Structures are given as structure tokens and as C-alpha cells.
A and B are shown apart, each in its own frame.
Chain A
Amino acid sequence: MDIIVILFLVIGLFFFLGGAVGIIRMPDFYTRLHPAGKLDTLGIFAMVTGLSLYNLQHFSFEALLLSAKMFLIVFFVFLSSPTATHSIVDAGMRAGLRHWTKKKRRG
């Protein structure tokens, strides 16, 4: 059981690492949104799955409620993360920021 929990946590940390590296390396703010909004969401999903499995090791009704509460966080993040991303993109579009393209870099 511990091995599964460790696996989930490491996978989640790996997703978070990808998100952080992507935020640093991407060339423009629209492309930066891609790793920021979504790799973090999946990282939260994986880590909360691992933590709630660890929580359910000593099984009781309170532990079950606690795990349900943790999955409420995941549910909320899955709803709110696209909304926040869309809101930031909308602000950028209204401000008139143009997006980075390949041709601009060559020519």
C-alpha cells in the first residue's frame, strides 16, 4: 500500500516539476498558460489520490468522510482551473497582446 502512495506522490511531483519548468521555459504568456493551468491540475489530482489512499489505511467512517472532502478539492479545482485560465486569456486578448509565432522568430 505504501508503495502505491509513494508512486502517486512522485508522479504528482513530476507533473508539478513539468509545470514549473514549462512556466520558466515557454516563450510567451499564452504558451505559458498551457503548462501552468493543466499540469498543475493533474498534479493535484495525482497527489490527492495518493494522500487519500494513505488516509484510508486505517479504515473508519471518519477517514472516509475526510477522503471525500479531499476529493471535493479535486472536483473544485477541475471546475475552477479552466475558468481561471480562460479569464487570464480573455484579459490578454482584450489588452491586445499578440501571440508568439515561429515566423516572427525566423524573419
Chain B
Amino acid sequence: MTDSNNNVAKKVGDTRAAFFKSFFSFLITFVFMFLSWIVLSGKFDPLLLWLGGISSFFVAYYFYDLLFPAMEPGYGKVFFRFISYVPWLIWEIIKANFHLLYLAFHPQMKDLIDPHIITFKTNLKSDIAITTLANSITLTPGTITVTADSDGVFRVHAIDRESADALPGTMLKKVAKVFGEKI
């Protein structure tokens, strides 16, 4: 994961498996970039498609380890589990947003809210799992991630007791399941 560009380039010469790994991540980056080009330009002249292919080739050639680093064998599985995690997250966001709307319009709002900072520790290892959990906590209204370091310690600012109590529960379980980590 922390392999720099040079290291990966050296390994490519060494083993065949490493070459296929980096070539696969190159291919995914290329396809992703080319799809973005098509969506953003919206024109299908041969010249424009050709230019887009060349520029996305160069971007994918130089930055292939930036977007999808270290292709694991179960990467596709993680991707599909992540896709199935997103609707649950959106539903959770909508539910919690109505709670926040109720708070914002309540006349005695200052008696209802009780801001405080809670700290909890998780056993998540990989960076992307920690980032996903931190962004999910921030997107769920009522809670904002203050710090999240690589040991898995989270400090969260919660607006009231109710949203603080719900915290490292189901969301942590879901994220750990998506990335295949133990809780």
C-alpha cells in the first residue's frame, strides 16, 4: 500500500504476478478515466475519442497506483459489497436528517441538544476502511468525526445523546463486513 512508484516499477521487472497486478490496476484506472472523459465531453467524434484515449492512457500510466493501489484478489468482491453498502448508508442519512431538521426547527432547541465529544477505539486496520467509517460518521447527521488516526481511534463530536449512543454499533459492523476485517 505504501509502495512508491519506483518500488512498483522495480517489482514489475522481477515477478510476473506483480506485473499482472499493476497492469490490472492500470487497466481499471484507464477505463475509469475514459468513462469520465466520455461523460464529461458528451461528443463522439473520432478525433475527440482518440484524444481522450491518449490522455487517459498517460494519466493511467503515471498514476496507476494512486487510485487503486495494490490490487488484492478479492477486490471485486469488496467493490460489490461496497455498492450494496451505499443504499443502506443513504437510507440512514435520510432518517438522521429528519432528526436534525426536527432539532433545527424546535423552539426550545437549546434544551434538547447536548453537545459532547466521545472517544472510541476500533480494530480496523486498513486506511480505506478507516476513511470510509470516518466519512460515513460525518455524513450521518448529528455526529462529526474530529480525529481518526491509523490505530483506529475515533473522536466524534455528537450533537445529542441519542445520536451519540447509536455510534460504534451497526455502522462499524457493516464497514468491517464490507472490507472483510474483524471487529
Contact = CB atoms under 8 A, between A and B. Distances in A.
Contact of A22 (B100, B114, B117, B140): B100
A86 B97 contact: no
Chain A's interface: helix, strand, loop or mixed, by majority?
Answer: helix
Contacts of A105: 110
A69 B37 CA distance: 11
Contact of B116 (A33, A72, A101): A101
A69 B103 CA distance: 34
A35 B113 CA distance: 13
A27 B42 contact: no
Task: Specify which of A34, A38, A99 lies most central, judged by the most chain B CB atoms within 10 Å of its CB.
Answer: A34
Interface stretch (B12-20, B57-65, B67-75, B141-149): B141-149
Interface string B126-170: 000000001100111110111100000000010100000000000
B47 interface: no
Q: How large is the interface on B (under 10, 10 to 19, 20 to 34, 35 or more residues)?
A: 20 to 34
A89 to B, nearest CB: 5
A15 B159 CA distance: 18
B80 interface: no
B64 to A, nearest CB: 21
Contacts of A38: 93, 97, 100, 138-141
Interface string B91-104: 00110010011011
B163 to A, nearest CB: 9
Nearest to B116: A101
B21 to A, nearest CB: 26
Chain A CB within 10 Å, residue with most, of B138, B142, B147: B138
Which 4 A/B pairs are nearest by Cβ-Cβ distance?
A22-B104, A82-B138, A38-B141, A18-B101
Interface of A: 14-15, 18-19, 21-22, 25-28, 30-31, 33-35, 37-39, 41-42, 62, 65-66, 68-69, 72, 78-79, 81-83, 85-86, 89-90, 93, 99-102, 105
Interface of B: 39-40, 42, 93-94, 97, 100-101, 103-105, 109-110, 113-117, 134-135, 138-142, 144-147, 157, 159
12 contacts: A18-B105, A26-B104, A28-B115, A30-B115, A31-B115, A42-B94, A68-B39, A69-B39, A86-B138, A89-B146, A101-B115, A101-B116
